[in-house]
Amino acid sequence: MLYKTRGIILHQIKYSDSSNIVNVYTEQFGRQDFIISQSKNKKIKNRHNILQALFLVEIDAYIKKNRQLQRIKEIKNIYPFKSIPYNISKSTIALFVAEVLYKSLQHEDLNTNLFNFLFKSIQLLDEETKGIANFHLFLLVHLTKFLGFYPSGKYSDDTAFFDLYEGRFVMLRPMHSHYISPENSSFFSNILNLTFEKFDQFSITNSARSQLLDKIIEYYQLHILSFKEIKSLPVFKSVFE
């Protein structure tokens, strides 16, 4: 059947001379792989631009359950970005976040609240002018709420370490190496309390931001078995350090 759904572009690869495979997190069907044929989609303008990381689109597609590749009939941009494609910092963040989502979200993992959170977050990235260097920390931490390993507890003098294995703030330094130090645990805890409205009020040093990002990625790797190396990370760090 032919369905219409909103989607977020996560990844694309060339399939043939006339078609691409595009991975999209959709509002109605979760994460799906679509084949899009240039020759059969003459109405699509600037197809290369439409399929960039985190672009917000509307798709008319033939969806069949358990089919590996769905077929797109039409695709259009429903939220033209004002800044992401033209700002090196924002476009670098978009590539990084899209890769994290691609490696975190499971196929057909439908969650309307998650889709709305991501949609609103991406709009925030496009519109915000302050605190952009911390956007990825905000998104990655709050994304864990939907992935099933949202941190429990809170930072205090008595619970100054965050145990990445346990996913909670603890009193004593863990016997293993998978934990966040007290200084960075304080930053981590502050991010947990951030909202979209107060996003630009968060402040952190470049060094602490880099260290905390490494620990958050480690947190993902510990709780998502399929979560591997983030290839865009070196480029991302070179832009923000």
Q: Check residues 132 and 220 and name the one with the higher pLDDT.
A: 220
C-alpha to C-alpha distance for 55 and 42, rounded to whole angstroms:
20
Comparing CA positions, the residue from 137, 110, 128, 117 lying closest to residue 192 is: 137
- Name the superfamily (CATH) of residues 84-240: Recombination protein O, C-terminal domain (1.20.1440.120)
Q: Around Cβ 107, how many Cβ atoms within 10 Å?
A: 11
- Give 192-222 as a DSSP string: HT--GGGGGG----HHHHHHHHHHHHHHHHH
Tell me, which fold does domain 2-77 have in CATH?
OB fold (Dihydrolipoamide Acetyltransferase, E2P) (2.40.50)
Each residue's pLDDT tens digit, 136-187: 999 999 999 999 999 999 999 999 999 999 999 999 999 999 999 999 999 9
Q: Where are the beta strands (DSSP E) in 46-160?
A: 56-62, 70-77
Average pLDDT over the chain reads: 91
Instruction: Outline where DSSP puts E strands in 50-193.
Output: 56-62, 70-77, 161-163, 168-170, 179-180
**For residue 162, which amino acid is it?**
F
Give the DSSP H/E element, type plus range, for residue 5. strand 2-16
Question: Residue 59 and residue 149: Cα distance in Å, rounded?
Answer: 31
Burial environment of residue 125 by CB neighbours within 10 A (0 to 12, 13 to 18, 19 or more): buried
Q: Are 89 and 240 in contact (CB under 8 A)?
A: yes
Sign of the alpha-carbon torsion through 101, 102, 106, 109: positive
Check: CB of residue 30 under 8 Å from CB of residue 110: yes
Residue 40 has pLDDT above 60, yes or no: no
- Does the pLDDT at position 39 exceed 70? no
pLDDT tens for each residue of 60-90:
999 998 888 999 999 999 999 999 999 999 9
Given a cut of 60, whether residue 41 has pLDDT beyond it is no
In which residue ranges of the chain is CATH 1.20.1440.120 found? 84-240
> For residue 153, what pLDDT is reported?
94
pLDDT tens-digit readout, 210-234: 999 999 999 999 999 989 899 999 9
Q: What's the burial of 95, exposed, middle or buried (CB within 10 Å: 0-12/13-18/19+)?
A: middle
The pLDDT assigned to 188 comes to: 96
CA nearest 229: which of 217, 211, 241? 217
| Per-residue confidence (pLDDT) for residue 45, from 0 to 100 | 47
Determine the Cα–Cα distance for residues 38 and 41; give it in Å rounded to an integer: 5
The pLDDT, as a whole number, for residue 146 is 95
The pLDDT confidence band at residue 7, using thresholds 50, 70 and 90, is very high
Listed in order, the ranges of the chain carrying CATH 2.40.50.140 are: 2-77
4 forms bridges with which residues in the sheet?
60
Task: Look at strands 70-77 and 56-62 and give their pairing.
Answer: antiparallel
User: Where residue 43 falls among pLDDT bands split at 50, 70, 90?
Assistant: low
Average pLDDT over every residue of 29-33:
94
